[in-house]
C-alpha cells in the first residue's frame, strides 16, 4: 500500500466484515477486522419467565423475568429492569403469551417505561379471545419490537394492564407426548445496534 492521504483514497465497495483495519493498541500497531470491532461494542441480553403473571385492572404492572438466557453487558435488575451499559441505540424485542379463562373476550394493553416514566406512544392494545370451553382457553401472543435511544445505566421495563382479572400471562410446561419444550410467559431480548 503506497502512502496516500485518506481524502485521496477511493470509496470502499460494500463491506462484508472481513476487511482489516489498522489500529494502535498499547503503543503497538495492530490490525482487526470490522467484525471484531463491531463485536467489541455490541451489548446484548435475553431474558424469559417461567411463571404465570397476574395484572391489576386499576394500574399497570411491570412484567417480571426469572431467567437470564444469555447476556453480555446488558443486565436485569430487580427482575424487571433491563439495564444498558452505555449510550446507544438498542433494539428491544419481546413476546408475551396472554390467556383468557372467561366466556367473553377482554383486552390487555402493553407499553414501555424508561427509568420509571412511560415512554410516549409505546402502548399497544390486544384483544384476547374468549375461552372455547371449560378446558380450552383463549390465547393471544403479543410480539413487539422497539428501537430505543438510551443513555448509560438507563433501564426499560415492560408494563401491562388487563381490562378484566380473567386475563393472565401464562407459562406452560414442556410436553412429553408430543414432545416440545416449555413455553415461557414472556421472552425478551435486547441488542445494542449503534
Dump the DSSP string for 114-139. ETTEEPTT--EEEEEPPPSSSSS-EE
- Is residue 89 one of the residues assigned to a domain? yes
Q: Residues for the chain: how many in total? A: 194
Pairwise CA distance, residues 182 & 192, whole Å: 28
β-bridge partners, 77: 81
What's phi and psi for 34, nearest 5 deg?
-60, -40
Instruction: Report which of residues 21 and 34 the model is more confident about.
Output: 21
Instruction: Report which of residues 98 and 24 the model is more confident about.
Output: 98
Range name among 65-69, 83-87, 162-166, 182-186 with the lowest pLDDT average: 83-87
Task: Specify the pLDDT at position 27.
Answer: 87
Pairwise CA distance, residues 193 & 121, whole Å: 21
Q: What is the rounded average pLDDT of the residues 180-190?
A: 98
- Is residue 59 one of the residues assigned to a domain? yes
pLDDT band at 38 (very low <50, low <70, confident <90, very high): low
Pairwise CA distance, residues 132 & 101, whole Å: 9
- Is residue 151 one of the residues assigned to a domain? yes
Task: Specify the pLDDT at position 34.
Answer: 73
What's the pLDDT tens digit per position in 129-177? 999 999 999 999 999 999 999 999 999 999 999 999 999 999 999 999 9
Instruction: Report which of residues 121 and 26 the model is more confident about.
Output: 121
Q: What is the rounded average pLDDT of the residues 37-50?
A: 85
- Is residue 62 one of the residues assigned to a domain? yes
Task: Specify the pLDDT at position 1.
Answer: 53
CATH number at residue 135: 2.60.120.40
Domain that holds residue 146: 43-173+183-192
Q: What pairing do the DSSP bridges indicate for beta strands 81-83 and 44-49?
A: unpaired
- Is residue 158 one of the residues assigned to a domain? yes
| Mean pLDDT value across the chain | 93
- Number of domains observed in the structure of the chain: 1
- Is residue 12 one of the residues assigned to a domain? no
Pairwise CA distance, residues 136 & 159, whole Å: 27
Q: How far is CA 117 from CA 111, 113, 143, 172, 186, in A?
A: 11, 5, 22, 31, 21
Task: Specify the pLDDT at position 12.
Answer: 82
Pairwise CA distance, residues 61 & 110, whole Å: 10
Instruction: Report which of residues 125 and 11 the model is more confident about.
Output: 125
CB 38 within 8 A of CB 17: yes
Task: Specify the pLDDT at position 39.
Answer: 62
What's the pLDDT tens digit per position in 50-75? 999 999 999 999 999 999 999 999 99
Task: Specify the pLDDT at position 119.
Answer: 98
Pairwise CA distance, residues 157 & 162, whole Å: 17
- Is residue 152 one of the residues assigned to a domain? yes
- Is residue 119 one of the residues assigned to a domain? yes
**Residue 147 DSSP one-character state:** E
What's phi and psi for 61, nearest 5 deg?
-125, 135
What's the pLDDT tens digit per position in 97-134? 999 999 999 999 999 999 999 999 999 999 999 999 99
Amino acid at each position: 500500500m503506497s502512502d496516500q492521504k485518506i481524502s485521496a483514497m477511493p470509496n470502499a465497495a460494500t463491506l462484508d466484515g472481513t476487511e482489516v483495519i489498522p489500529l494502535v493498541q498499547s503503543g503497538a500497531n495492530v490490525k482487526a477486522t470490522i467484525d471484531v470491532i463491531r463485536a467489541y461494542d455490541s451489548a446484548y441480553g435475553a431474558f424469559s419467565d417461567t411463571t404465570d403473571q397476574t395484572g391489576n385492572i386499576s394500574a399497570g404492572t411491570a412484567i417480571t423475568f426469572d431467567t437470564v438466557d444469555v447476556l453480555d453487558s446488558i443486565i436485569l435488575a430487580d427482575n424487571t429492569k433491563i439495564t444498558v451499559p452505555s449510550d446507544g441505540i438498542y433494539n428491544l424485542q419481546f413476546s408475551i403469551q396472554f390467556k383468557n379463562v372467561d366466556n367473553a373476550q377482554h383486552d390487555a394493553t402493553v407499553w414501555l417505561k424508561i427509568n420509571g416514566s412511560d415512554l410516549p406512544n409505546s402502548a399497544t392494545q390486544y384483544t384476547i379471545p374468549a375461552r372455547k370451553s371449560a378446558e380450552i382457553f383463549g390465547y393471544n401472543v403479543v410480539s413487539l419490537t422497539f428501537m430505543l435511544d438510551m443513555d448509560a445505566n438507563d433501564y426499560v421495563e415492560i408494563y401491562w394492564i388487563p381490562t378484566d382479572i380473567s386475563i393472565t400471562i401464562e407459562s406452560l410446561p414442556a410436553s412429553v407426548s408430543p414432545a416440545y419444550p416449555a413455553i415461557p410467559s414472556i421472552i425478551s431480548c435486547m441488542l445494542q445496534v449503534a
